[in-house]
Amino acid sequence: SQKIEQNSEALNIQEGKTATLTCNYTNYSPAYLQWYRQDPGRGPVFLLLIRENEKEKRKERLKVTFDTTLKQSLFHITASQPADSATYLCALFTGGGNKLTFGTGTQLKVEL
Amino acid sequence: ETGVTQSPTHLIKTRGQQVTLRCSSQSGHNTVSWYQQALGQGPQFIFQYYREEENGRGNFPPRFSGLQFPNYSSELNVNALELDDSALYLCASSLGLAPQETQYFGPGTRLLVL
C-alpha cells in the first residue's frame, strides 16, 4: 500500500542547532515533493517545493533534499529558533492536477 | 495571511445533520481543493474544483459534495454527519493545476459532531 511516513514523535532541539526531519514514502513515484509548516489551529503554510531531478533546494535557513532511490526527503532548519516550533508536513503530488497526499507531520520544539 | 478565508471558524452539529462550509479563494485563483484533517493527522484530500468543475476526488463517500461558483469561491457540503466527521476542514486555492503552483491554505473550519 502507499504510505508517507514522518517521525510521529516530537523532535526537541536546542536553539541554534540544526533540526533534521525525515519523510519516507513507499509505492509512490512523485515528480514533486513539498514541505509545509502548520501552527496549532491554523492551515498549513507552503515552505519549499523540490523536483525529482533536484537533489537539494535551499531557502534562507531551510534546506530540503530529495533522494528518489531511497524514497526519502530530509528537511533541515539551521540555526533553529523558538519561533521555528511548529508541525512540519511533507506532501507528494500523487494524482492529476495538484492533489496533495500529506504525511502525518512531525512536531518540532526548539528550546532556549 | 494567505488571502484565503473560510467560514464559519467553528461549528458544532449532531449526528445525522447536514453542514455547509464555505471558502473564498485568493484573488485570481481558479482552483480550490478541500482537505479533512483529523487530530494528530495530516490533511486528507477530499476533492478539487477547477473552473467550476470537479477535478479529482479522494476516498470520501458521496455524502461529501462540493460546488465552485463563477467567482471561484467554493462550498463543501456534508450530509448525514457521523461522529468521525469531526475534524478541521481546510480549503486551499491555487492559480491552476500545475504542481508548481503554490497552494494557499485557509485557516480551516473546526467541525465537532456530537
Closest CA to B103 of A75, A45, A33, A90: A45
Burial of B31 (0-12, 13-18, 19+ CB in 10 A): buried
CA–CA min distance A98, chain B (Å): 5
Nearest 5°: phi and psi at B79? -95, 160
Mutation pick from A4, A25, A100, A104 vs chain B, by most beta carbons of B within 10 Å, is A100
Contact B72, B32 (CB under 8 A): yes
A40 touches chain B (CB under 8 A): no
d(CA A4, CA A22): 10
Residue B98: the pLDDT is: 85
Residue A93: the pLDDT is: 85
With CB atoms and an 8 Å threshold, state whether A89 touches B90. no
Mutation pick from A33, A99, A107 vs chain B, by most beta carbons of B within 10 Å, is A99
- What is the distance between the terminal CA atoms of chain B, rounded to a whole angstrom? 31
Residue A27: the pLDDT is: 85
Residue B1: the pLDDT is: 65
Residue B16: the pLDDT is: 98
Contact B95, B29 (CB under 8 A): yes
Q: What is the pLDDT along chain B (114 residues), one digit of tens a residue?
A: 669 999 999 999 999 999 999 999 999 999 999 999 999 999 999 999 999 999 999 999 999 999 999 999 999 999 999 999 999 999 999 998 888 888 999 999 999 999
A110 touches chain B (CB under 8 A): no
A101 touches chain B (CB under 8 A): yes
Provide block-wise average pLDDT over 10 residues at a time, chain A (112 residues): 86 97 91 94 95 94 95 97 97 80 96 94
**Residue A100 in 3-state DSSP?**
strand
pLDDT digits (tens, 9 = 90+) for A78-94: 999 999 999 999 999 87
Residue among A89, A98, A104 minimizing CB distance to B98 = A98
Residue A97: the pLDDT is: 66
CB-CB neighbors (< 8 A) of A43 in chain B: 2, 4, 90, 92, 105-108
Q: Search chain B and give the residue with CA nearest A39.
A: B107
Q: What is the largest CA-CA distance in chain A?
A: 44
CA–CA min distance B89, chain A (Å): 9
